[in-house]
């Protein structure tokens, strides 16, 4: 299980656990970051914010927020 922020572009993670304050967790969960949801990393330059795609939506996440989403890496489909 790794933080979402450690995935590379094109990789897909399956959400396992959300950590952090209740407000952030609640917002992330409402946007679709719930256990078993698949998240594809669209942009990650190793620092600064990331862009991920979850449930047909592109979402910009601060690196801190992305670190609070722990995922299981899924083998690349392509």
Partner 1 sequence: MKKSPSFVSHRNRLESVVEQGVPDNGDTPPSSKTITVALAGQPNVGKSTVFNVLTGLNQHVGNWPGKTIEQKVGTCHYEDTTVTIVDLPGTYSLSANSPEELIAREYIICEQPDVVAVIINAAALERNLYLLAELLALPSPVVVGLNMVDVANHEGMKVEPEVLQAALGVPVVSMVATRNEGVGDLVEAIVRLAVGDLPYEPKVPEIRPDHKDVLAELRALCDGHVPEPYPPEWVALKLLEGDREVTRTMEAHLPDAIWLKVHAVLRAHEDAVVDVAGGRYEWIGRMTRAALVRPRVGQVTFTDRLDRVATHPLWGLLLLAGMLGVVFGLTYTIGMPLQDWLDTAVIGGLADLAGNLLSKAPVWLRSLVIDGVLGGAGMVVTFLPILLIFFAVLGLLEDMGYMARAAYVMDRFMHLMGLHGKSFMPLFLGFGCSVPAVVGTRIIESRRARLLTVLLAPLVPCSARMAVLALLAPAFFGPAAPLVSWGLILLSLLVLALSGVVLNRVLFRGRRAAFIMELPLYHLPNWRTIGLLVWQRTVEFLKKAGTIILAISVLIWAFSRLPYGEVETSLLAGLGRLLAPVGGLMGLDWRMMVALLTSFVAKENSVATLGVLFGSAEFTVGGGSGQLTELLRSTLTPAAGLAFLTVQMLFIPCAATVAAIRQETGSWKWVGLSMGFLLVVSFGTAIGIYQLAGLVGV
Residue 57 makes contact with partner 1 by CB under 8 A = yes
* Gap between the terminal Cα atoms of the chain: 21
Angle at 16 between CA 50 and CA 51, to 5 degrees: 10
Among 2, 3, 6, 25, binds partner 1 (CB under 8 A): 25
Is 21 strand, coil or helix? coil
Residue of 8, 42, 44, 74 interacting with partner 1 (CB under 8 A): 42
> Among residues 28, 39, 41, 71, which is the contact residue for partner 1, using CB under 8 A?
28
- Residue closer to partner 1 by CB (options 2, 37) is 37
Q: Is position 56 an interface residue for partner 1 (rule: CB under 8 A)? A: yes
The count of other CB atoms within 10 Å of the CB of residue 72 is 12
Q: Which is nearer to partner 1, 75 or 77 (CB)?
A: 77
- Summary count for the chain: helices (H), strands (E): 2, 6
């Amino acid at each position: 299980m790794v933080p979402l922020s450690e995935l590379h572009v094109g990789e897909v993670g399956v959400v396992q656990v959300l950590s952090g304050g209740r407000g952030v967790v609640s917002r992330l969960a409402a946007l679709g970051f719930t256990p078993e949801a698949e998240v594809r990393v669209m942009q990650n330059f190793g620092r600064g914010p990331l862009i991920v795609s979850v449930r047909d939506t592109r979402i910009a996440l601060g690196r801190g927020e992305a670190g609070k989403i722990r995922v299981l890496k899924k083998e690349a489909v392509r």
